[in-house]
Structure 1
Amino acid sequence: MIDTTVRAPIPLIHELSPDATRVVPMPTDTALPDLSRDASCVATYTYRDATGGIVGLVARYERSDPKTTKGMSKFYRQVTLWRDPERGLVFAWRGMGPNRPLYRLTDLLARPEASVIISEGEACADAVAAAFSQNVSVSWSGGSNAVSKTDWSPLAGRDVILVPDHDDAGKKAIDAIEDILRNARGTRIRRLDIARIGSAVSGDTPPGYDIADAIADGLDGRALRAMIEEQRDLLTEVDLPAETPAGPDAAADEAAADGTNPIETYLQDTWQTGLTLPDGFSIDKTGIYKLIISAKGELQKEFAGSPMLVVGRTRTGRAGAGWGYLVVVMTPLGDWEILVVPGRLLAGDGREFRELLAELGCVCPQSRAGRQALAEYVGHAQTSEIVEVVTQPGWHGDSYCFPDRVIQPSGSTRRLILDLGEMDHKMSCHGDPEAWQRLAALAVGNSRLAFALSVAFSGYLLELLGEENAVIHIYGLSSRGKTTIIYVAGSVAGGGGQSGNTHTWHATTNGLEGIAALHNDNVLVLDEIKQVAPDELGDVIYMLGNGSGKARADKTGKARPAHGWRVLALSSGEVKIGQHMASGKLGARGRLLGGVTARALDVPIETMPGSGRTYENLHGFESEAALSDHLAREAARSYGHAGPAFVEHLVEDRDAAVAIARQMVDRFVAQVRREDDDAQVSRVARRFGTVAAAGSLATSYGVVPWQRDTAYEAALACYEAWRRERGTNASEDETDAIRLLQRYFESHGGSRFETISSPRGSTKASEDEIPTRLEDRPVHARCGYRAFLPGPDGNAHTTYYVTPEAWRTEICDGRDAEFVARVARKYGALIPGESGRLQKKQRLPDYPGGTRVYAIQPDKLP
């Protein structure tokens, strides 16, 4: 029966859902998108895997550009097939990811005896295939910067001719391919001089000239062979490692000659273990081999991949639930890279495992027997070493994990390793530790700088002291050195690049989750708060302060563990947290939650109000700008030494450090406490106390060259500045309630309340009088009435009688209506009812028998 179903074309989209999964290879009946509808798309190239299945498409676009030598500019875009949970099957403008197949791979595999020409770009590869039919022509996707993303293993053992483009990018790309292929067993590599070829066939070789240009100028196989016969050095042999042409046993023979084996030496020196291999396997610098019996009954060696050693079993996750293998692999540069291989990757055909290896530049076996041998080599490894793998920096029991090192107590036998996968971080070490100490010495006498550096050490103490997360926000006018100060603080743990160990607030809540998790038990430095949307800021601060992200489900609907962290965030900006929140749509209500202010602390950059000063001590510099420039310059040169040095002391003397730090926090809180302080204020005092304790410990350890009380006095000065700017000892919720009432009655007291007569006396009879209306105007959206009542001081006080529903919905605006009323009563602004009730019964023009109302006198609010 003929299928007459009309299938809708698969859409081509730009944005994918977060849980979309790629479909590889594409089903054989997939209708490919027509990219030629865009007139600037001049060609589409199809990439296939070893079975012929389509992996992705590459579209080439050309547009007029008089600035280029050829008058045209070109660019490429990749299209792949995805299954999107929201849209179903879709094409997307997404790359093919790592371990991409070679262009024209099926031709390469179909002609195993032909020599291979590698040129840059699909158009070149197609032109070469047409002009040099006796050869196989291949290329790769992504240009000169994507060589490492391609699977070059099918070229192992082949005769390869490299043809670079005539420019720096072309040379860079071919050099990288050469480095990869040099370690591929049995591979012959030659390079063609495209500059001389171009001169010979066209008389000129301009920048960007390639093999396709030469073919267009008349070059073909016969012409090229004739040219090489006359000038042998047009095609030069690449010198390979001595052991490669000599066969897989050459390295072992060389090692035996001087009594050493470099692989065994590496194992002993780095991992303190000997070389043990599964039965039937051997290893040398050319790769791993397994003895097998061929179909003819002959004993032969099967190539199983680049050199690799299994140095331990790993367990990852809660209670060590996920088991795997800790392997080290030799890269094309001859160094060793550590790789954690989850055991699940060896199930099935092991494709994901080989993709990981290919990303490191390893050559993977192409034959089925070789792939099986590779999985067997790892799965049957003879090792009893158990290594704990953690996926987040920070404290793990008595040990602390940095991205580049693990710090453990002396004599610890625990084997621990941090695996961040593909996550990037800015924690690194560079420069001179003594130069950084000279930088830190400039914080003496400068409260804001010393405080920021102390904050950087505080993150290491949160877990040990059981203290809470916080965001400490340094604010002030532009060009006051805010960014410089937090940049210097970031140099405690890392740096490098233009922004050092500093991130920006310009990120979504989901994006900051991952960044915060990478800074677990450390400081997170965030610059320029205005880069986060005002309406998102409150949620972000709650997220950072609570130390956990959103709960999500995986593709099966099963709950995934949420990100978690303990972190002190150091922020900068021109305005306070509350000011920025108020600038958004939600902030127009003027509400700043107490939970936000307890988690986010505003510290002014000015050392005294109106002084315009950031530094109290210039240390001989001619101006604050000169000092700031020096700080930024030196922090970019030396960084990442102080944090690990501080942690080393904590690890070795943990109990004593915790005891001293707790005493310091308690001392600080006792010194700054006032009798009328709300619990929120005391909570903030502990955060400043933790900063003081961290800086004082760093001083006692010699990590910073400060005087004994430098950190403590800096934290004290910043705390007093925070308290001064806050302006009250009350809770933020109480302050918010007062501001709410003041703002509402100032804005609407005359328009939404009907004026009525006041009682003529204070007798019981006068209270029973029914007030009369004093004005005829209509009152729109009335919330109650107002009268002018005489007070004990002889002055009249405007009293508003607010109906309960208007109090709850109009005035309190989503807040706890009873709490707001209690705050008003506390300050004498609410006239209570009988027995101290918050509502009182009042006769009103529309309620002659009396009704319950809130009686408010706003002028008595503080």
Structure 2
Amino acid sequence: MNYGTASRSTWFSLEELLVNEKAVLAKLSGPGSTLLMTKSKNRFKKLIEDASDYRPANVAEHPGWCGKSFVFGDGTIASPKNHDEKIIVAFEMNPKFALAGTLEAWLTGVGRVVANQPLPLVMLAYAFVPALLRFIPAGIFNPQIELVGEPETGKSTLAVLAASVWAGDPDSDTGGGETWNRTLGSLDPLKVSHSDMLLMLDEVNMAGGNAREQADLIRSATFRFASTGTRGRLAGPVMSSDVRMALLSTSNEALSQLVKASKTVVGAVSSRMVTINVSKASGFLDTVPDHYEDASEAAAELRKDCARNYAHPGRIFAARLVEAAAEDEDKLRRQIAKGMAAFLEQLRHRRGTDGTSERVKTVFTMIFAAGTLARRWGLLPEEWGGLTKSLLNVFDRMEGRSVTTGDTASSALERVKKYAREHGAAIVRVKTMSGPVSFKKFSGSPGYLLRRDGKMAVLIPSDRFQLEFVDHKAMMQELRRLGLAKTEGGKKPKLTVKTPSAICAEGRVYWILLGTD
């Protein structure tokens, strides 16, 4: 869009004309001038009408992509280097999109909880998807995911984590997200205000004043958010006709179950919404992260970190996209398409996925493409876990299949039992010992057996256990969650305990309960 105004060689930007018209008039007509009388208003309009020289600029009517630049919700602009593109921010800025804290603090705090946790890692990767939608092949709906689970499963905490990629608010329970407590008329403005970014809507049970209103709101929201268009209005400002965004919703029940409509409509809602169930047993974390007593403590600390540090990952991700697109947009598009195709191929060869909607598969391919770029740019560190493995884990969870987590989950106890059987008599029965052994002899032993409270336990020297099981941390976290491991509490919980004095005066052991035999 081109615009301009000039009078007596005086230039005025659109910001001045729209935001500070009194200041403009004062420059034109002197102190004390106002725009109250028709004569004054007409004179002001005439000055604009008579302008003959213009400066080119793009007007950002909403956040997101504008020309070659990306405009964030707080009005900050990321433009390509050595590019003089003028952007006029013409939307109401939202302070929740402003930066808080640092990226380093966000990575440290989030990493303590997210590392080796498939669902949180996938939701973080999903948060980067909306900025990519501009470069994804046409004909794909805006992605929508709902986290469904009973209260206290951590689904809202998980949503706040994803929202922190773009926004935050320390005074809000939803962080950088919003709630479902809204009207039909607010849907389009809300969608536009999160263009090319993630929109998180928490607690669908807050939608509508009754079941019918809730169903109407959910149905309308699902269809409106999926499309790039907005509803036209006879009055009021013109809304954008091309709005890309991604939705993340939380609910106790799947939205398709709350929509009171025909099977056809319910089916259409289901096809546009990827439903991921959050387990009641384990919540959004598969294992309890190190340094935390339980999942509740980990979730509480995660929320605190997201309230102190937010918006940096999205800011950096979009800025890197801006540079990549400016350098070679066709190359960027090919890279994204190649990543999506590669993951789709994995899904197609995965057993039991033939009946899965292609739209649902496409959402996962977009998450893979976005997560790959975010990892390349240091926003999803390698030590947080494998992206492909995590995506397949969550895909299986969504499909209702048993989740394959390698040998670290339910098989952990069987692996320890197998280890004990293989070493047989070399594992010392504590009741047969004449006294404590030296640290050297202790370290060289495969383990010790003892009975406590009617239960048999194997105690394996820490160095030996870690050497034997490369995924020892995940194994012990799972065993602890199942109540099959004795660990050390305190401010800095440990997965090992001090060696009982009857065995050795030094060292630490992994203490695993084998059963009552």
- The TM-score range, normalised by the shorter chain, is 0.5 to 0.7
Q: Does 1:716 align with 2:392?
A: yes
In the alignment, which residue of structure 2 is the partner of 1:619? Answer: 290
Q: Distance in 1 between matches of 2:6 and 2:199?
A: 44
Match of 1:593 among 266, 275, 289: 266
**What CA RMSD, in Å, does the superposition of the two structures yield over aligned residues?**
3.6
Q: Does 1:525 align with 2:200?
A: yes
CA drift at 1:340: 4.7
Q: Read off the aligned partner of 2:301 and give its amino acid letter.
A: H
Q: Read off the aligned partner of 1:365 and give its amino acid letter.
A: S
Which residues in structure 2 correspond to 1:300-315 (within 5 Å)? Answer: 310-311=11-12
Q: Does 1:541 align with 2:222?
A: yes
In the alignment, which residue of structure 2 is the partner of 1:602? Answer: 275
In the alignment, which residue of structure 2 is the partner of 1:573? Answer: 251
In the alignment, which residue of structure 1 is the partner of 2:33? Answer: 365
Q: Distance in 2 between matches of 1:562 and 1:613?
A: 36
In structure 2, relative to structure 1, the CA distance for the partners of 1:612 and 1:494 (3 Å cut) is closer
In the alignment, which residue of structure 2 is the partner of 1:698? Answer: 374
SS of residue in 2 equivalent to 1:516: helix
CA drift at 1:619: 3.0
Q: Distance in 2 between matches of 1:680 and 1:364?
A: 68
Q: TM-score, normalised by structure 1?
A: 0.40
Q: Does 1:474 align with 2:151?
A: no
SS of residue in 2 equivalent to 1:524: strand
Q: Read off the aligned partner of 2:18 and give its amino acid letter.
A: V
In the alignment, which residue of structure 1 is the partner of 2:314? Answer: 643
Q: Distance in 2 between matches of 1:617 and 1:414?
A: 49
Identity %: 23
SS of residue in 2 equivalent to 1:525: strand
In the alignment, which residue of structure 2 is the partner of 1:490? Answer: 163
Q: Distance in 2 between matches of 1:434 and 1:414?
A: 30
Match of 2:114 among 395, 418, 443: 443
Post-superposition CA distance 1:618-668 (Å, at most 9, x none):
132111111111111111111111111011111112344433332221121
In the alignment, which residue of structure 2 is the partner of 1:458? Answer: 129
Q: Distance in 2 between matches of 1:474 and 1:668?
A: 22
In the alignment, which residue of structure 2 is the partner of 1:395? Answer: 65
Post-superposition CA distance 1:316-346 (Å, at most 9, x none):
xxxxxxxxx42xxxxxxxxxxx44539xxxx
Q: Read off the aligned partner of 1:524 and give its amino acid letter.
A: L
Q: Distance in 2 between matches of 1:440 and 1:514?
A: 31
CA drift at 1:363: 7.8
Q: Distance in 2 between matches of 1:709 and 1:600?
A: 26
Match of 2:304 among 616, 619, 633: 633
In structure 2, relative to structure 1, the CA distance for the partners of 1:695 and 1:472 (3 Å cut) is same
The structure with the larger Rg is 1
Q: Read off the aligned partner of 1:413 and give its amino acid letter.
A: D
SS of residue in 1 equivalent to 2:70: strand
Q: TM-score, normalised by structure 2?
A: 0.64
The answer to whether the Cα contact below 8 Å between 2:128 and 2:371 also exists between their aligned partners in 1 is: yes
Q: Read off the aligned partner of 2:228 and give its amino acid letter.
A: G
In structure 2, relative to structure 1, the CA distance for the partners of 1:504 and 1:617 (3 Å cut) is same
Q: Read off the aligned partner of 1:571 and give its amino acid letter.
A: S
In the alignment, which residue of structure 2 is the partner of 1:36? Answer: none
Q: Does 1:514 align with 2:189?
A: yes
The answer to whether the Cα contact below 8 Å between 1:578 and 1:592 also exists between their aligned partners in 2 is: no
In structure 2, relative to structure 1, the CA distance for the partners of 1:612 and 1:645 (3 Å cut) is closer
The answer to whether the Cα contact below 8 Å between 1:354 and 1:364 also exists between their aligned partners in 2 is: no
SS of residue in 1 equivalent to 2:367: helix
SS of residue in 2 equivalent to 1:460: helix
Q: Distance in 2 between matches of 1:596 and 1:534?
A: 11
SS of residue in 2 equivalent to 1:569: strand
In structure 2, relative to structure 1, the CA distance for the partners of 1:718 and 1:424 (3 Å cut) is same
In the alignment, which residue of structure 1 is the partner of 2:427? Answer: none
Q: Distance in 1 between matches of 2:203 and 2:147?
A: 10
The answer to whether the Cα contact below 8 Å between 1:468 and 1:687 also exists between their aligned partners in 2 is: no
The answer to whether the Cα contact below 8 Å between 1:700 and 1:708 also exists between their aligned partners in 2 is: no
The answer to whether the Cα contact below 8 Å between 1:392 and 1:517 also exists between their aligned partners in 2 is: yes
Post-superposition CA distance 1:15-62 (Å, at most 9, x none):
xxxxxxxxxxxxxxxxxxxxxxxxxxxxxxxxxxxxxxxxxxxxxxxx
Which residues in structure 2 correspond to 1:185-334 (within 5 Å)? Answer: 278-279=7-8, 310-311=11-12, 325-326=13-14
CA drift at 1:605: 1.6
CA drift at 1:364: 5.1
CA drift at 1:552: 2.6
Q: Distance in 2 between matches of 1:433 and 1:708?
A: 16
Q: Distance in 2 between matches of 1:613 and 1:375?
A: 58
Structure with greater proportional helix content: 2
In structure 2, relative to structure 1, the CA distance for the partners of 1:372 and 1:724 (3 Å cut) is closer
CA drift at 1:675: 7.9
CA drift at 1:406: 1.9
Q: Distance in 2 between matches of 1:617 and 1:693?
A: 28
In the alignment, which residue of structure 1 is the partner of 2:360? Answer: 684
The answer to whether the Cα contact below 8 Å between 2:17 and 2:24 also exists between their aligned partners in 1 is: no
The answer to whether the Cα contact below 8 Å between 1:661 and 1:693 also exists between their aligned partners in 2 is: yes
In the alignment, which residue of structure 2 is the partner of 1:746? Answer: none
Q: Does 1:672 align with 2:343?
A: no
Match of 1:341 among 18, 36, 57: 18
In structure 2, relative to structure 1, the CA distance for the partners of 1:662 and 1:626 (3 Å cut) is same
In structure 2, relative to structure 1, the CA distance for the partners of 1:339 and 1:605 (3 Å cut) is farther
In the alignment, which residue of structure 1 is the partner of 2:502? Answer: none
CA drift at 1:683: 2.3
In structure 2, relative to structure 1, the CA distance for the partners of 1:310 and 1:443 (3 Å cut) is farther
Q: Distance in 1 between matches of 2:117 and 2:352?
A: 30
Match of 1:501 among 176, 181, 188: 176
CA drift at 1:452: 1.5
CA drift at 1:453: 1.1
CA drift at 1:613: 5.9
Post-superposition CA distance 1:369-416 (Å, at most 9, x none):
987887677777797532221202112343212132222222223212
Post-superposition CA distance 1:178-223 (Å, at most 9, x none):
xxxxxxxxxxxxxxxxxxxxxxxxxxxxxxxxxxxxxxxxxxxxxx
Q: Distance in 2 between matches of 1:391 and 1:702?
A: 31
